[in-house]
Amino acid sequence: MSGNSIGKEFVVKCFGESHGKCISVVIDGCPAGLPLTERDLQAELDKRRPGISKIVSQRFEEDKAEIISGIFKGFTTGAPLGMLVWNKEVDSTPYEAIKHTPRPGHADYPAFVKYGGFRDYRGGGRFSGRITAAFVMAGAVAKKLLATRKIEVLAHTVEIGGVKIIRKPTINEIKRNVYMNPVRCANLKVAGKMEKAILNAKREGDSVGGIVECVATNVPVGVGSPVFDSLDADIAKILFDIPAVKGVEFGAGFEVAWLRGSENNDAYAIRGGKIVTLTNNAGGILGGLSSGMPIVVRAAFKPTPSINKKQRTVDLRKMKETEIKIAGKHDPCIVPRAVPVLESCVAIVLVDHMLRDHMIPKVL
Amino acid sequence: MSGNSIGKEFVVKCFGESHGKCISVVIDGCPAGLPLTERDLQAELDKRRPGISKIVSQRFEEDKAEIISGIFKGFTTGAPLGMLVWNKEVDSTPYEAIKHTPRPGHADYPAFVKYGGFRDYRGGGRFSGRITAAFVMAGAVAKKLLATRKIEVLAHTVEIGGVKIIRKPTINEIKRNVYMNPVRCANLKVAGKMEKAILNAKREGDSVGGIVECVATNVPVGVGSPVFDSLDADIAKILFDIPAVKGVEFGAGFEVAWLRGSENNDAYAIRGGKIVTLTNNAGGILGGLSSGMPIVVRAAFKPTPSINKKQRTVDLRKMKETEIKIAGKHDPCIVPRAVPVLESCVAIVLVDHMLRDHMIPKVL
Amino acid sequence: MSGNSIGKEFVVKCFGESHGKCISVVIDGCPAGLPLTERDLQAELDKRRPGISKIVSQRFEEDKAEIISGIFKGFTTGAPLGMLVWNKEVDSTPYEAIKHTPRPGHADYPAFVKYGGFRDYRGGGRFSGRITAAFVMAGAVAKKLLATRKIEVLAHTVEIGGVKIIRKPTINEIKRNVYMNPVRCANLKVAGKMEKAILNAKREGDSVGGIVECVATNVPVGVGSPVFDSLDADIAKILFDIPAVKGVEFGAGFEVAWLRGSENNDAYAIRGGKIVTLTNNAGGILGGLSSGMPIVVRAAFKPTPSINKKQRTVDLRKMKETEIKIAGKHDPCIVPRAVPVLESCVAIVLVDHMLRDHMIPKVL
Amino acid sequence: MSGNSIGKEFVVKCFGESHGKCISVVIDGCPAGLPLTERDLQAELDKRRPGISKIVSQRFEEDKAEIISGIFKGFTTGAPLGMLVWNKEVDSTPYEAIKHTPRPGHADYPAFVKYGGFRDYRGGGRFSGRITAAFVMAGAVAKKLLATRKIEVLAHTVEIGGVKIIRKPTINEIKRNVYMNPVRCANLKVAGKMEKAILNAKREGDSVGGIVECVATNVPVGVGSPVFDSLDADIAKILFDIPAVKGVEFGAGFEVAWLRGSENNDAYAIRGGKIVTLTNNAGGILGGLSSGMPIVVRAAFKPTPSINKKQRTVDLRKMKETEIKIAGKHDPCIVPRAVPVLESCVAIVLVDHMLRDHMIPKVL
């Protein structure tokens, strides 16, 4: 099966190109009976635009969601849900210049080798971060489905350009603060420092990366399947499908490398009549199954590869070394835009697995 | 589709339980014409047993590989390749004691909730690390297929219990040293320290975790598919399917969070008539496609959850808090055993994608 | 995985409803480098409209194909190919009347039970024959791909309302005549009789069924996979996905029930340096693999269930027996429209299997 | 995904060869909590052996079922269910003679072309009818699952060598008579004539084909998915995966070609408080969904291709025409053996779809 589809019961197929006619997504397997309008999608899409802010690219990019199938009288019907945003007229001419000189850090070179002369190189084509608009539309539906089960999926920036959040924020801080500041950080003081880090890089024609954490609360015990459809494995897979992600970790993550078993194991206890663990180093997943504790996952995003600095590259036709300076306006940091994308991805995987586990019905 | 299968063209289905009759694996989609014997499987399986060593559990566990289908006159036929190791008679009685008192850090509790009273709890059942014997048999086949394309997949321990390798080893050091020491480290001095860290933990009835790195060399450009079948996404998925993995990163990994774009981007150059990058922060993968540079991935393994210390847990029938002390002999560190497993996983994903991309023929 | 997708390498996902915004299809896995325009799709779509003819419904239904992704500079790029026809403004009010009184022979009743009150009942929704416009757009692409391998897929009507073609037509007769007459029959005399049979039924407010045969020539030997992805099995599956198909047979088909082995076996011979069989009772498929002989498959189509006669049904809300008379104009026979649909279905399956077998490259 | 697997939630993967070590099957997705023993499998396997009868081959073929995974304390655990029959020592030497001279009507020739010299040609290898032992073991599990929902799947022979059953038997006649006579016919008088037809063919060194019908009763309304996972489509697919099937039809089947809509439409009525149709020309499936009426499907089986008569073929190495006479004992008619296979196939598809539709729980 070809690669533009993910999920088994809640199957998300994405298509469209950065500078093509549209960015689209079809969900096959959405239960019937979910109230859904284009406003639901728009609300999530708008989170990808951190506002008229100094830190994002000045491209005008108002994505307007349209539902083209699967809805009748305001409810999903169980039929495939087609959704898209039409691309605005954009200027693709800058991409002619770099057609044969791959941009470092982008997919240009392997895509050229793989698809011969046929790939759509304008704006990154299928490899553009813009593709994540499709993830977000699907995520909007997934979140609404999870809400029927009282599950929330919340992401927030924990590091940008070396500036980290130290104190773990509460769920309430995340809910209150994240979409109130341009860097999507739950701690407003740290948010200010992150913003500065971005502006510093921007001033120098450079870019910065960062880390986003996503927390899913109220997930029932036992979501996931051993051994190859582990919940963490499927979450990690979709996160690495986001362009720019270079690392994913759950709970204590890479720190487990220096913890003792006695420190890392989460002891069981009973609180309020429910079984809980006293710590959550597992990040809510044990043996590929949800444990009932919050699912906690972090993804590391590399700095935007498009920078306003001269870079070494090669001319693929002449097979000669050369230099490139990327024109146009680019985000000096894509981390803030990634926050709703991460939420969407985690929500999509949760819905898919909960449908497989009969935890969400096929007709609501 | 149910969860015990991975891959699209090279489909690995695994079955069997830790204390059941056997651990088995079927490969559907293996090309015809590969010479294969049980010795090929045995050689890889033996790498999972770090020898009569002080650092591994004293359980006698000689896995003997058997091929039950898909071979004719010493070659694969294109039919599904059935492989298994029969389990030795083992004592499952210790598991009766913990049937209703989940071990912290294990899948016991979510598995109990998910499968009701029906799960096979003996030795972890389907959640046992022993399942990775199936990964390794499939990996043995995948490695042989990759060898026909001159691709090598090599893993090595880079951190155990806080002891890290500092200098990046060469490919030759990895090849020469890894299977010559019980911790599977490419640097023999560091290996000694790692061994000590394990023995210290063991002495205290505790356990340690670590990090394994895997390098795949000579992978052609363009392996992988946008957007949901990215090569890194599929490698990450299978690695998180290994019990105990809590983090996965490629190339610079989580460090990208504090790198500038100008530092992280890998500049292109021409060396020996071939296009290369001068650094490999991308870990050989750009936009989900292989770049032609070595693929570099690291996985963090948590410390073995089975420790010889009293731990807090709950009695699931009585819904009461209680304590548990796990009997039996357990590896104080599973990292060394994970080294061939990591190689197998990466090899399986590479073969699967290369078949999809017609880079390996269906008949050799 | 949800049910609106077919294929493994050439994955056809269809969405949209009869009276919704559009009928759409996305092909994931189409090789890069195929020249493709909307005219290619239109040519096939137009074959579904048997002309301003007395035998088809008088609904105005000019489907205009639009490609919304996957094309760049006139060639496929290897990215998902999005295609659709926008539905014209149609009057859905007649369907309000039958919302709770299922039409005999239609999916109304089981769809009502399955999707509760949420299904889009207008014009049959997802169960409408109109959905096959999506099959035909995907088929147009598949046929162009097969043409690069000199494979042709040709369907023709062999029976309508009891009127049968007796003498097997030649390939040339099929090519010359089928789209020259409104019933899509290769024998023009029989075509006239079939037309009369349709008109007779129409006059009585009734409908007729029929049989369409499809022949694929020049298919290489060995397309298909044992045991569950047999070529005949996959062709049969997609044919039964066409609404109204009630039977499928290959070669001698149901006649094998009274043939002796010595009569039914196709003897091998060498003709023009090539291995052939002297008869083709197998219909070009042996053990699920193509044999090199023409693939011959027939599908039986039931008479259109929408007839202008009073029929017994039930009121689902009142749980009372009642009668229904279906308003509106309906084809008294859908067989002629099914001819290009059958071609499309067979072409889709052939391309999918040939891609799996590396017989069509991923980049042309 | 490679071709030896079928189903999405109840995934049946089959492996093993006719003259290899074993015939095996793994079910991934079987709910936990089903009581299951090897006797359950054996009972179904034994139905494939029509007894020490004159009409079957005299090969001794006592298949003994073994369960190798997925069972604990007599119940399924939700883990993959591994089942196999070990092949007895058999003489494969006759197959050396025909290694390069394909038997007419068998898969020999396309398999030779597809797999080069690597295929296992002994006894048909993967193309042998013996593979259906795997279908039957999986079917035994599926039937037990359906029985928990009071669904029965019953097959019976309706035609052999031109001898047909005329009067439709009742469900009770099918239950009482089918496994009481060697041809598996519900009408004992017709059974006698069928037996004679087989013996006549056998005497002449020839073989006969036939038709088997399968009826599934008590299937709930709404099983199946539009448009590509129609219930009829999935049943047809698995039936065509049975070697020797050349045609499949539901309900009125090919007869719909000459029925009028007013004759073919099944009128709705209420009987005993339930919605029924007064006829069942649809064979229990409308628009790809079960209608609540019995599912009725028929499959046509070709006469056994292995006959004791001289046949024309070619020598593939010398590329010369030649003749062949197949040695060994072969069934002159495989139809009786196909009866439990058909039941198994229909049961497998029903369980798979009912799991997808949440009509069978994941834990019983």
B357 vs C8, C357, C362: nearest CB? C362
**With an 8 Å Cβ cutoff, are A358 and D362 in contact?**
yes
Burial of A263 (0-12, 13-18, 19+ CB in 10 A): middle
Contacts of D8 in chain A (CB under 8 A): 8
Distances (CA, A) of B166 to B163, B190, B200, D178: 9, 9, 21, 74
CB contact under 8 A, C125 and A32: no
What's the angle, vertex CA C38, arms to CA C33 and CA C43, rounded to 5?
A: 110
Nearest to B247 by CA among B299, B179, B193: B299
Instruction: Report helix, strand or coil for C230.
Output: coil
User: For residue range C41-80, what is the model confidence (pLDDT) as tens digits?
Assistant: 999 999 988 654 666 655 555 789 999 999 999 999 999 9
**Please, what is the average pLDDT of chain A?**
94
Is D3–C225 a contact, with Cβ atoms under 8 angstroms apart? yes
Q: What is the pLDDT of residues C99-151, one digit of tens each?
A: 899 999 999 999 999 998 899 988 889 999 999 999 999 999 999 999 999 99
| pLDDT value for D133 | 96
Pick from C197, C135, C134: nearest CA to C335? C197
- Contacts of residue A22, defined as CB under 8 A and 6 or more positions apart, other chains included, come to A16, A84, A85, A86, A87, C68, C69, C82
Tens-place pLDDT, residues A312-364: 999 999 999 999 998 877 899 999 999 999 999 999 999 999 999 999 999 99
Distance from CA of A137 to the nearest CA of B (A): 16
B39 near C CB under 8 A: no
DSSP letters of D194-258?
HHHHHHHHHHTT--B-EEEEEEEESPPTT-SBTTTB-HHHHHHHHHHTSTTEEEEEETTGGGGGG
In which band, very low, low, confident or very high, does the pLDDT at A57 lie, cut at 50, 70 and 90?
low
Q: How far apart are CA A284 and CA A302, in angstroms?
A: 26
pLDDT along chain D (364 residues), means of 10: 90 96 98 98 89 56 90 97 92 83 96 92 90 97 98 98 96 96 96 96 96 98 96 98 97 97 98 97 98 98 96 96 88 96 98 97 96
**Interchain CB distance below 8 Å, A259 and B127:** no
How far is residue A312's CA from residue A323's CA, in Å, rounded to a whole number?
5
Q: How far apart are alpha carbons A135 and A144 in whole angstroms?
A: 14
Contact A2 C28 (CB under 8 A): yes
- Residues B305, B104 contacting (CB under 8 angstroms): yes
Contact A339, A50 (CB under 8 A): no
Q: Of C325 and C50, which is predicted with more confidence?
A: C325
Cα–Cα distance measured from residue B296 to residue B314, given in angstroms and rounded to the nearest whole number: 41
Mean pLDDT, chain C, whole residue set: 94
The beta strands (E) that lie in chain A are given as 5-6, 11-16, 22-28, 65-69, 71-72, 75-76, 81-86, 152-160, 163-164, 210-217, 245-250, 268-271, 274-277, 285-286, 289-290, 295-301, 310-315, 320-325
The amino acid at residue A236 is: A
Place of tokens 């023999």: B188
Q: How far is A358 from chain D (nearest CA, A)?
A: 6
How far is the C-alpha of D312 from the C-alpha of C266, rounded, in Å? 9
The values of phi and psi at residue B311, to 5°, are -135, 150
Between CA C334 and CA C202 the distance in angstroms is 12
pLDDT, tens digit (0-9, with 9 covering 90-100), for A35-55: 999 999 999 999 988 654 666
Which chain C residues are within 8 Å of B9, Cβ to Cβ?
Answer: 356
Say if residues C169 and C199 touch (Cβ distance below 8 Å). no
Check B250 against A247: CB less than 8 A apart: yes
| Nearest neighbour of D221 by CB, restricted to C110, C259, C302 | C110
Question: Locate tokens 């204590």: which residue?
Answer: A252
Q: Would you state the pLDDT for residue D124?
A: 87
Report the residue of chain D nearest A357, measured CA to CA: D362
The residues of chain B scoring below 50 in pLDDT are: 52
> What gap in Å lies between CA D217 and CA A81, rounded to an integer?
34
pLDDT of residue A53: 61
**CA B330 – CA B307 distance, rounded (Å):** 7
Q: Do β-strands B320-325 and B310-315 pair in parallel, antiparallel, or remain unpaired?
A: antiparallel
pLDDT of residue D62: 75
Q: Is the ipTM of this complex over 0.95?
A: yes
Given a cut of 90, whether residue C91 has pLDDT beyond it is no
Of D127, D225, D228, the CB nearest to C287: D127
Mutation for testing the D interface, residue in B6, B13, B351 having most D CBs under 10 Å:
B13
Contacts of D79 in chain B (CB under 8 A): 4, 15, 17, 119-120, 125-126
Nearest C-alpha neighbor of D7 from the set D220, D235, D339, D286: D235
Q: Which H helix or E strand runs over A95?
A: helix A93-97
Separation CA C160–CA C174 (nearest Å): 17
Q: Do C261 and D303 touch (CB under 8 A)?
A: yes
- Whether A241 sits inside 8 A of B230 (CB atoms) is yes
Which of A164, A302, A357 to mutate against chain B (most B CBs within 10 Å)? A302
CA distance D269 to A280: 59
Three-state DSSP class for A57? coil
- Residue pLDDT, tens place only, B135-176: 999 999 999 999 999 999 999 999 999 999 999 999 999 999
Amino acid at C40: D
Contacts of C236 in chain D (CB under 8 A): 233, 236-237, 239-240, 248
Residue B180 CA to residue B182 CA, distance in Å, equals 7
Question: Under DSSP, is residue A192 helix (H, G, I), strand (E, B) or coil?
Answer: helix
CB contact under 8 A, C357 and B362: yes
Element housing A340 (H / E): helix A335-356
Q: Is D28 an 8 Å CB contact of chain C?
A: no
Residue pairs between chains A and B whose CB atoms are closer than 8 Å: 380
| Contact (CB<8Å) D79/B7 | no
- Looking at chain A, the whole-number percentage of residues with pLDDT higher than 70 is 96
Q: Residue A61's pLDDT is what?
A: 57
Look at residue C31 and give its three-state secondary structure.
Answer: coil
- The answer to whether residue B8 neighbours chain C at the CB level (below 8 Å) is yes
CB spacing of C79 vs A13 below 8 angstroms: no
Put simply, whether C356 touches B (Cβ < 8 Å) is yes
* Region of residue A177 (phi > 0: left; psi between -120 and 50: alpha; otherwise: beta): alpha
Predicted structure pTM score: 0.97
User: Could you tell me which residues are beta bridge partners of residue C315?
Assistant: C320
CB–CB of C303 and D259 under 8 A?
Answer: yes
A197-206 confidence digits (pLDDT tens):
999 999 999 9
Which pLDDT band holds residue C245 (cuts at 50, 70, 90)? Answer: very high
CA-CA distance, A51 to A183, in Å (whole number)? 11
Distant-in-sequence, close-in-space partners of C170: CB < 8 Å, separation ≥ 6: none
CA–CA distance, B124 with B304 (Å, rounded to integer): 13
Are the Cβ atoms of B226 and C356 closer than 8 angstroms? no
Q: Is A358 exposed, middle or buried (0-12, 13-18, 19+ CB in 10 A)?
A: middle
**A206/B contact by beta carbon, under 8 A:** yes
Tell me if chain C has a CB within 8 Å of the CB of B274: no
Domains of chain C: 5-356 (3.60.150.10)
**Average pLDDT score over residue span C351-362:** 97
Contact C290, C221 (CB under 8 A): yes
> Could you give the CA distance from residue C241 to residue D17 in angstroms, rounded to a whole number?
32
CB contact at 8 A, D206 and C261: yes
C-chain residue closest to B363, CA distance = C357
Tell me if chain C has a CB within 8 Å of the CB of D90: no
D107/chain B closest Cα distance in angstroms? 14
Q: Which of D9, D302, D324 is the best mutation test for C, with the most CBs of C within 10 A?
A: D302
3-state secondary structure chain B: CCCCEECCCCEEEEEECCCCCEEEEEEECCCECCECCHHHHHHHHHHCCCCCCCCCCCCCCCCCEEEEECEECCEECCCCEEEEEECCCCCCCHHHHCCCCCCCCCCHHHHHHHHHHHCCCHHHHHHCHHHHHHHHHHHHHHHHHHHCCCCEEEEEEEEECCEECCCCCCHHHHHHHHHHCCCCECCHHHHHHHHHHHHHHHHCCCCECEEEEEEEECCCCCCCECCCECHHHHHHHHHHCCCCEEEEEECCHHHHHHCEHHHHCCCEEEECCEEEECCCCCCCEECCEECCCCEEEEEEECCCCCCCCEEEEEECCCCEEEEEECCCCCCCCCHHHHHHHHHHHHHHHHHHHHHHCCCCCCEC
Packing angle of the helix pair D38-47, D132-147 (nearest 10 deg): 120
- CB distance from D274 to chain C under 8 Å? no
For residue A312, what are its two tokens?
């070494």
- Amino acid, res. C216: A
C144 touches C175 (CB < 8 A): no
Which subunits have 3 or more CB–CB pairs within 8 Å of chain C? Answer: A, B, D
Round to whole Å and give the CA distance between A123 and A131.
11
Kindly list the partner chains of chain A, i.e. chains with 3 or more CB atom pairs below 8 Å.
Answer: B, C, D
Asked if D220 is an interface residue toward chain A (Cβ–Cβ < 8 A), one would say: no
pLDDT of residue D54: 63
What's the pLDDT tens digit per position in A206-262? Answer: 999 999 999 999 999 999 999 999 999 999 999 999 999 999 999 999 999 999 999
Q: Point out the residue among A16, A72, A82 whose CB comes nearest to the CB of C69.
A: A16
**Locate tokens 């026909």: which residue?**
B148
pLDDT, position A1: 53
pLDDT of residue D226: 93
Q: How many CB pairs under 8 A join A and C?
A: 171
Judged by a CB distance cut-off of 8 A, whether residue B112 touches chain D is: no
- The per-residue pLDDT for range B30-70, each reduced to its tens digit, is 999 999 999 999 999 999 886 546 666 555 557 899 999 99
Residue D330's pLDDT is 85
Please indicate if any CB of chain D lies within 8 Å of the CB of A1.
yes
Inspect the interface and report whether the beta carbons of A246 and B251 lie closer than 8 Å.
yes
D2 touches chain B (CB under 8 A): yes
The answer to whether the Cβ–Cβ distance between A261 and B8 falls below 8 Å is no
Across the range C259-266, mean pLDDT stands at: 98
Distance CA B151, CA B145 (A): 9
